[in-house]
Structure 1
Amino acid sequence: MTTLAMARHLGLRLGRGLVRLLACGLLPTALHAATPAVALYYGNALPLSDFRAFDIVVVEPDHAAHPTGNARAQLAPTRFYAYVSVTEVLPARAHYAEIPPAWKFARNKDWQSDVIDQSVADWPDFFASRVVAPLWERGYRGFFLDTMDSYRLAAQFDEQAQQDGLVRVIETLHQRFPGIRLILNRGFDIVPRVRDKIEMVAAESLYRGWNARTQRYEDVTPQDRAWLQAQLRTIQQRDGLPVLAIDYAPPHDRALARATAARIAADGFIPWVSDAALSTIGIGSIEPVPRRVLVVYNGAETPSLNYSLAHRFLQMPLNHLGYVVDFADIREGAPPAVGRDRYAGVVTWFTGYVPEDRVAPLARWLQARLDEQMPLLVLGDFGFLLTQSLSERLGIQPVRANGPQRIVHTSPLLGFEADPEPLDGPRFVWNAPQAPSDGAQPLVELRNERDQAFLGGALMPWGGFLANPFVTAEVPGTEFSHWVADPFALLQRSLRLPALPVPDATTENGRRMLFAHVDGDGFASRAELAGSPLAADVMRREIIEKYRIPHAISVIEAETAPHGLYPELSPQLEEVARKIFQLPHVEIASHTFSHPFLWDTKVRHGVFGDKSEAAEGLHVPGYTMDLRREIVGSSQYINERLAPPDKKVRILLWSGDTAPNAEALEITERAGLLNMNGGDTSITDNVPTLTEVGPLGITKNGFLQVYAPITNENIYTSLWKGPFYGYQRVLQTFALTESPRRLKPVDIYYHTYSASKRAGLNALHKVYSWAVAQPLHPVFPSEYIYKVQDWHGMAIARDGAGWRIRGNGALRTVRLPAALGTPLPATSQGVAGWREGPEGSYVHLTGGDAWLRSGTAAQPAARPSLYEANARLTAWQAEGTSVRFSLQGHAPLEFSLRDAGACQVRADGRALSPLSSSRASGPAARAYRLSHAAADIQVQCPAR
């Protein structure tokens, strides 16, 4: 059935308007997309990527730069239209001064703008040349034409002449700019004359509006609404055009915006409900799910953000739940005002009092968040003595609790890794004596010797709080801590996080990912083997050439270069590097010029004081640390002397404390390099705590550092002091980050000097042998880094009966919680299949744009789906009961199909038989294996 026939068959409510949109290619062809999702954003504070879930985004071009180049490609298929005012001009516009005074024949006092006489013969050319042409040059191909009816503000005007002038403007734009797309805001009277030149008509204030004069949100009167509804339905029925209805609601009242959008949609119009300034992410025919959480901390408690409890302990659980974490240091003033359009909640984590001059701003900020009904979780300590008003709002009061205490009640959310102990810490009581706040659930209740009751934490209607020492507990005599609270459950319950498809950077096509990367330290070392060969050459021969999984391997320029520390060894070292970099399963990385130990100048001087040289890396005579030399210079050296002609350095692997500042991250990104390292995930049987599992990365001033999924052998060998076989304990880390939750991919990460000792080599052989025997999905480290970047920008939105998922296509897995049911690939788009996992289902996406539907799987599947594969999907086409797809991987192909029992499977035209002993454990899943790493697969099935 063709798209047009399908639209007619479904009897879609927009009638001829929808059919026309489908014909001109405006809409996605997916069944769920009955209308395009349209958003308007006239602010300048939000990145346009926040709107990537929408099909069309109208922006104020003086505030937002049109995406270009790679940024534009990554936001596809979203199209950005420029707002332009046709009949009104603000004095701030660049072209205002060029408009002859005689053309201005009225004034809009509400907006302080001038109204232009549309009957002026030269106005259409002026508008096309001075207003639209510069925007066309900037890349805009769609335009939202506003103020179409403002000529009626003039004391005297010729209605027909004004409308004729507006028609000439639209005709001129089509003549001057072939392919231009136009949305009219009102202009109802001229629509019949230009309906073949516009694709949509918009109107404001169908149910709720903004009164610019009184500065208030108001309900539209029934009479005004009925008149506008009649106009809009006429445009739909008479002119065959879709209609966009733009309404306004307070930005914090998401429930009102949601209800208003639903009323507009029920009328058959495309909804957009936002704040009066159109400066937030509103709600339209889809509702983006906020994927950010703001965490507020006190930077005085830690040398830098990297070492804070909020980053080290809290960010990983939030990342695993699908949330991007932004941090705010209370020392820098009151945290930013965050809205519920972008943020799912706020967490504060203080271990003591904040600076006195920050107390009042913090109290006001917390009060504002509570007033806006932003979910709030307070960990550790509030940071100040609660004011009376804030205490009343929270429903609790702080009290002094003297003497020994005993715990009389704990929630199942506690005792996760350590049992709660009644140690000293903040205590509270309910505001209402002997009674908790409505809807509150105590987490910890204590009593003292006088039987006085105290509260150490509770889930509250506004979120929740959990005081020290019930969040984490230090292990005496060690540097380790354990979670007392279950961080996943505590965050979900307190912040009321909804069940949603979670972007997942551990898995692709159902299999856990695998890669290896090597820091260049010790490239010049001699191995303790017969003949004292170079450790780098031993690594090449015994490890890299034997285990042909994807690697990123690096060198330190000061170790290998003729102008470095070992000029006499340089010819041999460089030759080994060239041989390694020529291998097809190796991509090239730099481990800097001099291997800095501390990257952040503030941390370096704060820790070492005047002896900052102790924080430097390799001592290169006459050299003073320079970020560009470390990052860009070392990469240039490798490209010019070591890399084969068809390869360049892809990745900068951070050295030392792996905590670069924002400047270093920016230099790396501007140089076109990816970056990785840091995180220090090292959970083992001896230290089985999730506090030893790092997050995906850290962002500083908008620049992302991607962490290595698993730490290197240093942690397992006591900083290479022994036992030198200790790296084999990484297998424990792999196991503990797989179950009961898959938290990380498998990353074999070590230094070149691991090959300098036989015990180190034996450990590497054990780890590699285990990895290649597992059903994993090999990827290059650069591919993983791209996935983490995509994870941070992926958009999830509620879209009808399913979920709209948009990214740039690097990340291909979302984890569907069991609460959302079973994935239904046959009634989804951009979904190839799914595999059961420990926390729901891993859903396999075919690209960067998908619509996922889930439900019960009681009915037989309409066609086969992909159960798992060790390679990337490069194509997927489903038709009727059969599918055709392509796989491209880094190892001989292994894949399994669900519900393909009666189907014929062919690879590149050759019939395949399923394996007799399949690894696939799911129902009706059949496994296949090929001897090569790429294939086109055809699955022909009988009618069902």
Structure 2
Amino acid sequence: MRSLKRLLWALMGAAGLGLWPAAQAQPLGTPAVALYYGHSIPLTEWRAFDIVVVEADHGHDPKTWRERGLELYAYASVAEAHPSRPYHARIPTAWKMARNGAWRTDVIDQTPAEWPEFFANEVVGPLWAKGYRGFFLDTLDSYRLAQQFDEAAQQDGLVRLLETLHRRFPGIRLILNRGFEILPRVPGKVQMVAAESLYRRWNAEAQRYEEVPENDRAWLLQQLRTAKEQHGIPGLVIDYVPPHQRELTRQTAEQIRSHGLTPWVTDSQLHTIGMGAIEPVPRRILILYSSAESPALRYSNPHRYLQMPLNHLGYVVDYADAREPLPEGVLADRYAGVVTWFSGFLPEPHRRPLSRWLQARMGEGMPLAILGDLGLAPDRALAQRLGLQVGAEAPRSPLRILRQDPMMGFEMPLENLEQADPFRLDNAVGREARSLLQLRDAKGQEYTGAAITPWGGLALDPYVLAKVPGTDFARWVIDPFAFVTQALRLQPLPVPDITTENGRRLLLVHIDGDGFPSRAEFAGSPLAPAVLLQEVLERYKLPTAMSVVEGETAPHGLHPADSKEMEDIARRMFRLPHVEVASHSFAHPYLWDPSRPHGRFLEDPRLPQHLPLPGYKMDLTREIVGSSQYINERLAPPGKKVKIMLWSGDTAPNARALAITEDAGLLNMNGGDTTITKANPSITAIGAHGLLMDGQLQVYAPITNENLYTNLWRGPFYGFERVLETFEMTDKPRRIKPVGIYYHTYSASKRAGLRALHTVYNWALSQPLHPIFASEFIHKVRDFHGYALAKEGGGWRVRGDGHLRTLRLPSALGTPTLGQSRNVAGFAPGAEGVYAHLASPSAWFVSRPTQEPPTGPYLTEANARLVGWKTSDGGRRVEAQFRGHGPIEVSFAGMTGCSALADQRPIAPTPLPKAQASSVPGQVSFRIPHAAAQIVLQCASR
């Protein structure tokens, strides 16, 4: 049977593997395999899969992705060669037995004795050298395009080719596209056999998707059944469904799976993330904004206010400027929804493209949430899509509230809002919509201020966000968590959580190096860093990132007379084992992007761009790479180098600065300005995880520094004590941030500032926290942005880089069933569900609404990283390894009848202080006076 897509594959590539019936609550035994031929989707989005077949010419690095748990297979066309392939010109003319005019390829005769070695040397060899170890071999039957051919001789040639590949490349893994006839002759040499179109196919001639005739299905099923039953080779089936029809994609995959075959269901061009052995869960939200409404994206309403709630719900945010061409191909395989937030009308040239784009997304079934303003006066087509009445009479003041949903008036009472222009829904949409705010005007006409609609939801100003008169503060009028969840139809999912590990809230400390030349107001006027070293760093042995500003400390800087003493202090700081090394730049830029208009974080726009170093002109490489080299060469001890670039000034680097940092092998952090306090008790004062710009990620500090608590260091100098309010308000009612102690060197220059530091440190030491380095936190935020979730076998498959080891399970997901899960060591209760503790970068688990009794002990909390976890004896024996940054505190539940060893010695439970006591019934805690330990638990049969 001829494959409709065989010729397309000659230029592109394919693969896939199996899935158990969804009713089985167990991880799959067969690797999850996908095939992707496009350019636009980063391979990060494919992390949930085990194998992805790609076009190797697209520049992928299989070695890098192998280290991250993803194996790339290279596409290779066996019997056809396109002129664009580098080896095409070296194929002897005598070997070209036909021409495929449709795809401009030459059909290669498989009978020449030299052909297998040529294919091994010219096609597979270069890919093997790049790191590919798996290959998808396509066009095996293209010899049938020739007018004359010897079927047996051609198949003999194919067999010789496969044997040659296995001889030349030991361990090579092969997936064949069809080639059913030669399978009996190559035992043990084929990993999988692929075929297409069992239920749904793409008709290339008619350019349409259609069902497969029953006769074709029966023939293909028989071939695949024979391959499996007689030759032990599993089958992969590739079917084609319109990419926005996700439910049909899901149904088709299940139909294929019912035959014991591995499905891969995708679009006709194989350019989207389909469904197969697993169903990836989109974790991205696209937000449309207008660059004309703020100096830069980081100061726009959607980034300042909405990204944090979306991050907290587990979603990564991408932005698209509506003043630029809007992205094409935004489909449900990658995005859970689209949000627009405008504060007024777009310029005229951009309104019609926006209208067309929104209608296209709605036509694909993409959920849409509209906040603020529509950005345009909707034309008739868009108004009809949205269900808005065109030309509705403007309301007559005053407006009176008839009904309001509990999500309205979230932080600001509606009665305090200024007059607005609400909208009217047409009858059809109005009947299906749920009004969140119903209003009546002076003439008795009813209007809507916000609603959940069949296509998503909308909430217009001023029913979204309100400014607090006389301040720079803002308040949410609508509950953003509830609104985006309902408008975008977001389903409960395991949230990769950057605040917690092993049940305990994270704690990190980092210090900006400003103020090294400052003299402390103590006897003898010592340098502030000397006071900081003695009073803080040597006293509180918490993991700390310390930085310096080269232009302040270096002999060629602004203070050459004090340079020797400052550098000596910095060396002593960096030698401390609990201190990691960071740079705070060369000249301490106040504006990292001078092309950008003045930012909101600088009070005086007349400030210089950087420290007044003679003859210096702003140079990003000098600031980032140069300052790091200075620290590494003059200040850092052997074997300890700069890890982090801590942004200074407006903390607003552009994408180029971020790229320079990344290319230098450095992490980056600062910005975000989380400052929620009792004086401003609003989640609008809690920042996002970070900002993605042109593929580069700026990681925000979890909590802001003492400057904003001390009125930009004008006093009160004890103001940093108020950060304790921020710590508490970012923990309850939602744990949104870890505890981040962040300040400058000059905090040690004043008695009040130093006392505030002692207060903050002592509070932190009294709490049940999990100390980590700032670099570890940064890696967790980076891991969050690339974390993969997928539904698999009745459970969840999760995969990251291994830095982020906590999943927050919303209450609707219940608790993990540990006996049926893999690489889940335990869980702990939280305010919004439970925190699941992962023992590996990847895991699989099934959860239940109610907790099932465990068969043995499980981890509830620890202040150290879990670096090893093994269960045996039906779960009654546990071997756990922990590594932390101080004495280890660890707790387990399910310990009835259990004994414990720590480093092969018996240990007794240690009651935790009352402030750290857990609410987990039957929890048993241990304290080991080392930063690393192996604990073995053995429990009797029950």
TM-score (norm 1): 0.95
Distance in 2, Cα, partners of 1:781 & 1:768: 16
1:909 aligns with 2:904: yes
Query: Which structure would you say has the larger RCO, counting Cα contacts within 8 Å and 6 or more residues apart?
Result: 2
**Conserved in 1, the CA contact under 8 Å of 2:241 and 2:268?**
yes
Structure 1 unaligned spans of 5+: 1-16, 23-29
Distance in 2, Cα, partners of 1:786 & 1:88: 45
Q: For 1:125-140, list aligned pairs within 5 A.
A: 125-140=117-132
CA pair 608-779 structure 1, distance change in 2 beyond 3 A: closer
Q: Among 336, 342, 345, which residue is 1:344 paired with?
A: 336
**Conserved in 2, the CA contact under 8 Å of 1:416 and 1:484?**
yes
**Conserved in 2, the CA contact under 8 Å of 1:411 and 1:444?**
yes
Q: Which amino acid aligns with 1:492?
A: T
SS at match of 1:669: helix
In the TM superposition, what whole-angstrom CA distance separates every residue of 1:241-268 from its partner, at most 9, and x where no partner exists? 1111111111111111111101111110
Distance in 2, Cα, partners of 1:308 & 1:505: 24
2:424 alignment counterpart: 429
Distance in 2, Cα, partners of 1:576 & 1:735: 34
2:411 alignment counterpart: 417
1:188 aligns with 2:186: no
Distance in 1, Cα, partners of 2:144 & 2:27: 40
In the TM superposition, what whole-angstrom CA distance separates every residue of 1:402-450 from its partner, at most 9, and x where no partner exists? 4321222211111111122453334211222xx6434310112211111
Identity %: 58
1:64 is displaced (CA, Å) by: 4.3
In the TM superposition, what whole-angstrom CA distance separates every residue of 1:49-74 from its partner, at most 9, and x where no partner exists? 211111111111122413334x541x
1:290 aligns with 2:290: no
1:571 is displaced (CA, Å) by: 0.8
Q: Greater CA deviation, 417-426 or 525-534?
A: 417-426
Q: Among 520, 523, 527, which residue is 2:516 paired with?
A: 523
Q: Greater CA deviation, 347-356 or 154-163?
A: 154-163
In the TM superposition, what whole-angstrom CA distance separates every residue of 1:707-727 from its partner, at most 9, and x where no partner exists? 000000011111111111010
**Conserved in 1, the CA contact under 8 Å of 2:26 and 2:794?**
no
Q: Among 888, 892, 910, which residue is 1:893 paired with?
A: 888
1:390 is displaced (CA, Å) by: 1.1
SS at match of 1:786: helix
Q: For 1:685-700, list aligned pairs within 5 A.
A: 685-700=678-693
Q: Among 36, 42, 48, which residue is 2:37 paired with?
A: 42
Q: Among 899, 923, 926, which residue is 1:925 paired with?
A: 923
CA pair 815-607 structure 1, distance change in 2 beyond 3 A: closer
1:121 is displaced (CA, Å) by: 2.3
1:224 aligns with 2:219: no
1:364 is displaced (CA, Å) by: 0.7
Q: Among 295, 298, 314, which residue is 2:306 paired with?
A: 314
**Conserved in 2, the CA contact under 8 Å of 1:296 and 1:335?**
no
**Conserved in 2, the CA contact under 8 Å of 1:200 and 1:241?**
yes
Distance in 1, Cα, partners of 2:484 & 2:470: 29
Distance in 2, Cα, partners of 1:81 & 1:51: 13
Q: Which amino acid aligns with 1:642?
A: L
In the TM superposition, what whole-angstrom CA distance separates every residue of 1:548-601 from its partner, at most 9, and x where no partner exists? 110001111111111111111111111111111110110011110111011112
In the TM superposition, what whole-angstrom CA distance separates every residue of 1:751-803 from its partner, at most 9, and x where no partner exists? 11111110001111000000011010000000000111111101000011110
In the TM superposition, what whole-angstrom CA distance separates every residue of 1:876-899 from its partner, at most 9, and x where no partner exists? 111121100100000111000010
Distance in 2, Cα, partners of 1:319 & 1:328: 17
Distance in 2, Cα, partners of 1:897 & 1:261: 41
Q: Which amino acid aligns with 1:616?
A: Q
Distance in 2, Cα, partners of 1:90 & 1:249: 28
2:169 alignment counterpart: 177
In the TM superposition, what whole-angstrom CA distance separates every residue of 1:250-300 from its partner, at most 9, and x where no partner exists? 111111111110111111001101111111111011001001000010010
Q: Which amino acid aligns with 2:774?
A: P
SS at match of 1:179: coil
**Conserved in 1, the CA contact under 8 Å of 2:313 and 2:495?**
yes
**Conserved in 2, the CA contact under 8 Å of 1:608 and 1:615?**
no
**Conserved in 1, the CA contact under 8 Å of 2:81 and 2:105?**
yes
Distance in 2, Cα, partners of 1:381 & 1:430: 16
Q: For 1:171-320, list aligned pairs within 5 A.
A: 171-320=163-312
CA pair 547-794 structure 1, distance change in 2 beyond 3 A: same
**Conserved in 2, the CA contact under 8 Å of 1:596 and 1:656?**
yes
Q: Which amino acid aligns with 2:52?
A: V
Q: For 1:772-783, list aligned pairs within 5 A.
A: 772-783=765-776
2:838 alignment counterpart: 845
1:356 aligns with 2:360: no
**Conserved in 1, the CA contact under 8 Å of 2:369 and 2:458?**
yes
**Conserved in 2, the CA contact under 8 Å of 1:18 and 1:241?**
no
Distance in 2, Cα, partners of 1:147 & 1:862: 52
1:340 is displaced (CA, Å) by: 0.6
Distance in 1, Cα, partners of 2:625 & 2:901: 48
2:866 alignment counterpart: 873
Distance in 2, Cα, partners of 1:56 & 1:911: 44
Q: Which amino acid aligns with 1:155?
A: Q
Q: For 1:33-182, list aligned pairs within 5 A.
A: 33-69=28-64, 72-73=66-67, 75-76=68-69, 78-182=70-174
Q: Greater CA deviation, 228-237 or 855-864?
A: 855-864
Distance in 2, Cα, partners of 1:621 & 1:18: 64
Q: Greater CA deviation, 813-822 or 342-351?
A: 813-822
Q: For 1:528-607, list aligned pairs within 5 A.
A: 528-604=521-597
1:639 alignment counterpart: 632
SS at match of 1:643: coil
Q: For 1:403-802, list aligned pairs within 5 A.
A: 403-421=397-415, 423-432=418-427, 436-604=429-597, 614-802=607-795
Distance in 2, Cα, partners of 1:494 & 1:245: 36
Moved over 6 A (4+): 605-609
1:194 is displaced (CA, Å) by: 1.0
**Conserved in 2, the CA contact under 8 Å of 1:18 and 1:34?**
no
Q: Greater CA deviation, 81-90 or 856-865?
A: 856-865
1:349 is displaced (CA, Å) by: 0.2
Q: Which amino acid aligns with 1:46?
A: I
**Conserved in 2, the CA contact under 8 Å of 1:335 and 1:362?**
no
CA pair 374-797 structure 1, distance change in 2 beyond 3 A: same
**Conserved in 1, the CA contact under 8 Å of 2:295 and 2:597?**
no
Distance in 1, Cα, partners of 2:53 & 2:589: 46
Distance in 1, Cα, partners of 2:101 & 2:236: 26
In the TM superposition, what whole-angstrom CA distance separates every residue of 1:342-396 from its partner, at most 9, and x where no partner exists? 1000000000001110011101100100000001000001100111111111111
1:13 alignment counterpart: none
Structure 2 unaligned spans of 5+: 1-15
1:110 is displaced (CA, Å) by: 4.3
CA pair 573-608 structure 1, distance change in 2 beyond 3 A: closer
**Number of aligned pairs?**
914
SS at match of 1:82: strand
Q: Which amino acid aligns with 2:150?
A: D
In the TM superposition, what whole-angstrom CA distance separates every residue of 1:142-187 from its partner, at most 9, and x where no partner exists? 0001111222222221110111111111111111111110001100
